[in-house]
Amino acid sequence: MQLSGPEIKKQMNLPNPKNPGNKPNIIISPFDEHCLGSNSYDLHLSPKFKVYSVAIPKGMKTHIEFDENKEYSMRDWFYDKRYYYKYLESPQDFDYRNPKFAIDTASQKKTIEFEIPENGAILNPQFGYLASTVEYTETYNLFPYIDGKSSLGRNFVLNHHTAGRGDDGFCGSWTLEIHVLHPTIVYPGMRIGQIYYDEFRGERKPYNLNPNSHYNGQNGPKAAAPIIVDRFIKEYLENHK
């Protein structure tokens, strides 16, 4: 059963002796009641971004600082005209579908970090962006998850791919996997999504006590942990060829 907006606020003000430090079941920081909805709370975009360095063609910008008085062209995606001319001569060398830009799911990933300015930044539909919420949250005895706002969807901005679901016991800011369909201007502090809370049944297995959890306590966007192939799956596949 999903919590209503008033119940979210109520849970934030009820210390629970079963939680670490007698904390309430829900912590959202910073919190402003104006962001409390019918059954969710609005989250905001942190200015800190990351992209995987392997996926960025040499000479291309990760983003463009927005200037409302400027008339933009494809040239603005490149640091200087040399790379723009290379792009015109050989566009496949800058095409994200080129296998040389492959992301290895089983490896640690190097990232390029940047901050979007107060006046906004234009994101490139070719790239995937790791960002995060301004808000730090803690959740106990409930199931938290985030989703995009309808206005975000109507601008064709995706704020998460598969990681919209949280866990009982998760503590940290939320990493966002942002992708845009068109070149899109985003701003630090804009409303980037909503957090919801569901009740659940059964014995608890809190995320903050799970030694296999990768992202608890994260602050800012965090790159993907290597995705392993479990040994028992390898053995199963070997035995069922």
Provide the residue ranges of all domains of the chain, joining segments of one domain with +: 5-239
Torsion region of 15: left, alpha or beta (phi above 0 gives left; psi -120 to 50 gives alpha) = beta
Active site residue 177: yes
Instruction: Count CB-CB contacts under 10 A for residue 42.
Output: 16
- Judge residue 25's burial from the number of C-beta atoms within 10 Å of its C-beta, 0-12 exposed, 13-18 middle, 19 or more buried: buried
Residue 44 — pLDDT band, cuts 50, 70, 90? Answer: very high
Please give the average per-residue pLDDT across 191-202, as a whole number.
87
CB 32 within 8 A of CB 40: no
Give 211 or 130, the one with higher predicted confidence.
Answer: 130
Please give the average per-residue pLDDT across 18-33, as a whole number.
93
Q: Which run of H or E residues covers position 138? A: strand 129-139
Q: Please determine, for residue 224, whether its predicted confidence score (pLDDT) is greater than 80.
A: no
Q: Please determine, for residue 68, whether its predicted confidence score (pLDDT) is greater than 60.
A: yes
**Per-residue pLDDT at 1:** 86
CB 24 within 8 A of CB 14: yes
* Distance from C-alpha of 159 to C-alpha of 130, rounded to nearest angstrom: 9
Which two tokens mark 111? 């990232």
pTM of the model: 0.84
Q: Quick check: helix, strand or coil at residue 121? A: strand
Bridge partners of 114, per DSSP, are 49
* Distance from C-alpha of 175 to C-alpha of 136, rounded to nearest angstrom: 11
* Distance from C-alpha of 208 to C-alpha of 196, rounded to nearest angstrom: 19
Which two tokens mark 144? 């938290």
Residue 226 — pLDDT band, cuts 50, 70, 90? Answer: low
Of these residues, 33, 177, 203, 238, which one is catalytic? 177
The pLDDT tens digits of the residues spanning 151-176 come to 889 999 999 887 677 888 888 899 99
Residues 5-239: name the CATH superfamily: Deoxyuridine triphosphatase (dUTPase) (2.70.40.10)
